[in-house]
Amino acid sequence: MGLGRVDVRVEATHVAKLSQRIEPYPGEVVLDAAGGALLPGLHDHHLHLLSLAKALDSIPCGPPEVSNEAQLTAQLKRHAATAADDDGWLRGIGYHEAVAGDIDRAWLDTVVPDRPLRIQHRSGRLWMFNSAALARIGAGAPPFHPGADLAGGRFLDADDWLRARLPDQRPPLRLASARLAERGVVGVTDATPSNGLSDYRYFAEQHARGHLLQEVLIMGSAELRLAERHDGVAVGPTKIHLHESALPDFDDLCAAIRLSHGAGRAVAVHCVTVAELVFVASALAEAGHHPGDRIEHASLTPPETLSLLAAEGLTVVTQPNFVFERGDQYLVDLAAAEQPWLYGGRRFLTNGIPLAAGTDAPFGHADPWRAMAAAVNRHTRNGACLNPDEALTAEEALALFTGPATRPGAGSRAIHAGATADLCLLDRPWRDARADLAAVQVIATLRAGTLIHSPQ
Ligand SMILES: [Zn+2]
């Protein structure tokens, strides 16, 4: 793999030149790769940005991270001292009385006096607000909520009431985006089925403000076909969520597929069971194909489904990280006869089925390198080996995350003069990286020629 040791020049948004030796221009920024591998920037082909941001932007306020009052105080003060996003809110989750008793407005004010802070009880039913937060939502003005203890800043079963007073529940994306950039991710496909025009505009706005560093392909509802053009966000396939327990009418599914294809959009169908897979393959055979039609997860693929997938030209977007994260549970929950069908890798490639991957973050761990490692070693967290015959080579695992956004299984993008400078630079040569992908550190990440993660 690769071109050996070369210098690479990036000009504006593109790779301008690759050569054995390039003399820097006066004043040109030079990044010393020190022999580390330069790779195409990664694209996570299936994740959920808003959920990921929410998970990252929330402060754990209960066990196991926080178990006493001193720890909670330190945890809140540390977060309060970090740079605030524009709205300044701090949001804690998972509180339990075992930590510091029935904390209230007065207690919160002593710890965080100057930023709006709200903490959710582990039960999900109770919120505790400091004074700055109460002022922000105008809690002292009617209509009042029967479950509200304004003096104490405690709100029981008041989520609807609170939602109406909190400005925008969409979390800032800056932290999630920065974390992805640290792992070499230059693009993501947001696979949230409910995504509509307002979500699309939110991503575009966060991108324009520089909070969202990645290019986004947004899947979602049929209304996305009406989206206006914005930089940094493109409309992807229509997401169709199937559930075996309540499959849609076959003709309705065919009509939805035709509507999407008619609007120039592929479909991406969530399939975790064999019945779901067979159902959607039949619907696609009936409604017709569109380039880029894809199956999300394809968790179980017995041999007879492989020819169906191949015949319909479907791309499979898998989550190899689930082998590691959920493998042990699968081995307990699934009948022995079904276990060989779980989370394929090799079988897709040998059957000519385009294969790509996403982490499904935050429902899976957001680190693509961990996912790649699992695609290669097939290890579960407890050290079992899940269907080792499905193992991929390190190069094949990398290609799962380096295919183009709209043709995820088409194989890795190449680095050549004239290519968009979407790049990631590793801390080690590829021959070392391939031996343990989970250990890889990313030194620098460039999206369209801009450093979105730089050396420390
Ligand atoms: Zn998902």
CA–centroid distance, 360 to ligand 1, in Å, is: 5
Same domain for 207 and 330, yes or no, is yes
**Average pLDDT rounded to a whole number, residues 245-257:** 94
CA–centroid distance, 432 to ligand 1, in Å, is: 32
CA–centroid distance, 114 to ligand 1, in Å, is: 37
pLDDT of 291 > 70? The answer is yes
CA–centroid distance, 242 to ligand 1, in Å, is: 12
CA–centroid distance, 144 to ligand 1, in Å, is: 38
**Average pLDDT rounded to a whole number, residues 373-390:** 97
| Among 165, 193, 218, residue at a domain's last position | 165
- Spacing of C-alpha 14 from chain mean position: 26
**Average pLDDT rounded to a whole number, residues 82-99:** 82
Whether 45 maps to a domain, the answer reads no
Q: What is the pLDDT of residue 123?
A: 78
Pairing of strands 267-271, 294-297: parallel
CA–centroid distance, 411 to ligand 1, in Å, is: 22
Q: What is the pLDDT of residue 408?
A: 96
Same domain for 142 and 231, yes or no, is no
Of 420, 451, 341, 322, nearest to 387 by C-alpha is 341
Distance CA 100, CA 275 (A): 49
| Among 165, 185, 208, residue at a domain's last position | 165
**Average pLDDT rounded to a whole number, residues 207-228:** 95
Lowest mean pLDDT among 78-82, 138-142, 349-353, 369-373: 138-142
More confident residue, 298 or 83: 298
CA–centroid distance, 364 to ligand 1, in Å, is: 9
Whether 4 maps to a domain, the answer reads no
Q: What is the pLDDT of residue 85?
A: 60
Q: What is the pLDDT of residue 168?
A: 67
CA–centroid distance, 371 to ligand 1, in Å, is: 15
Whole-number average pLDDT of the chain: 93
CA–centroid distance, 129 to ligand 1, in Å, is: 32
CATH code of the domain in which 270 resides: 3.20.20.140
Same domain for 156 and 183, yes or no, is no
CA–centroid distance, 46 to ligand 1, in Å, is: 6
CATH code of the domain in which 110 resides: 3.10.310.70
CA–centroid distance, 192 to ligand 1, in Å, is: 6
CA–centroid distance, 316 to ligand 1, in Å, is: 13
Lowest mean pLDDT among 31-35, 402-406, 431-435: 31-35
CA–centroid distance, 407 to ligand 1, in Å, is: 18
CA–centroid distance, 274 to ligand 1, in Å, is: 18
Same domain for 193 and 88, yes or no, is no
Q: What is the pLDDT of residue 86?
A: 62
Q: What is the pLDDT of residue 25?
A: 93
Same domain for 126 and 223, yes or no, is no
Q: What is the pLDDT of residue 1?
A: 58
pLDDT of 141 > 90? The answer is no
% of the chain at pLDDT higher than 90: 81
Whether 184 maps to a domain, the answer reads yes
Same domain for 196 and 143, yes or no, is no
Residue numbers of the domain that contains 132: 51-165
E strands in 130-286: 148-149, 154-156, 185-190, 215-220, 233-241, 267-271
**Average pLDDT rounded to a whole number, residues 233-240:** 96
Same domain for 252 and 223, yes or no, is yes
CA–centroid distance, 261 to ligand 1, in Å, is: 22
CA–centroid distance, 276 to ligand 1, in Å, is: 16
**Average pLDDT rounded to a whole number, residues 57-78:** 91
**Average pLDDT rounded to a whole number, residues 347-366:** 95
Same domain for 208 and 182, yes or no, is yes
CA–centroid distance, 320 to ligand 1, in Å, is: 13
Whether 305 maps to a domain, the answer reads yes
**Average pLDDT rounded to a whole number, residues 301-326:** 95
CA–centroid distance, 362 to ligand 1, in Å, is: 9
Q: What is the pLDDT of residue 125?
A: 84
Whether 2 maps to a domain, the answer reads no
Same domain for 158 and 183, yes or no, is no
pLDDT of 21 > 80? The answer is yes
Identity at 418, one-letter amino acid code: G
Q: What is the pLDDT of residue 456?
A: 67
**Average pLDDT rounded to a whole number, residues 181-209:** 96
CA–centroid distance, 99 to ligand 1, in Å, is: 33
Distance CA 322, CA 239 (A): 21
pLDDT of 299 > 90? The answer is yes
Q: What angle do CA 433, 399, 221 make, to 5 degrees?
A: 130
Q: Domain tally for the chain?
A: 2
CA–centroid distance, 270 to ligand 1, in Å, is: 8
pLDDT of 84 > 70? The answer is no
Whether 412 maps to a domain, the answer reads yes
Q: What is the pLDDT of residue 50?
A: 93
Same domain for 138 and 248, yes or no, is no
CA–centroid distance, 359 to ligand 1, in Å, is: 8
Same domain for 148 and 183, yes or no, is no
CA–centroid distance, 48 to ligand 1, in Å, is: 6
pLDDT of 359 > 90? The answer is yes
Q: What is the pLDDT of residue 58?
A: 86
Same domain for 98 and 185, yes or no, is no
Whether 19 maps to a domain, the answer reads no
Of 396, 399, 405, 448, nearest to 423 by C-alpha is 448
* Predicted structure pTM score: 0.84
Whether 1 maps to a domain, the answer reads no
CA–centroid distance, 399 to ligand 1, in Å, is: 20
% of the chain at pLDDT higher than 70: 98
For residue 162, what pLDDT band results from cuts at 50, 70 and 90? confident
**Average pLDDT rounded to a whole number, residues 360-376:** 95
Q: What is the pLDDT of residue 83?
A: 67
**Average pLDDT rounded to a whole number, residues 78-82:** 90
238 DSSP β-pair partners: 220, 267
Residue with tokens 């290519």: 419
| Among 165, 190, 205, residue at a domain's last position | 165
Lowest mean pLDDT among 36-50, 155-169, 393-407: 155-169
**Average pLDDT rounded to a whole number, residues 163-167:** 80
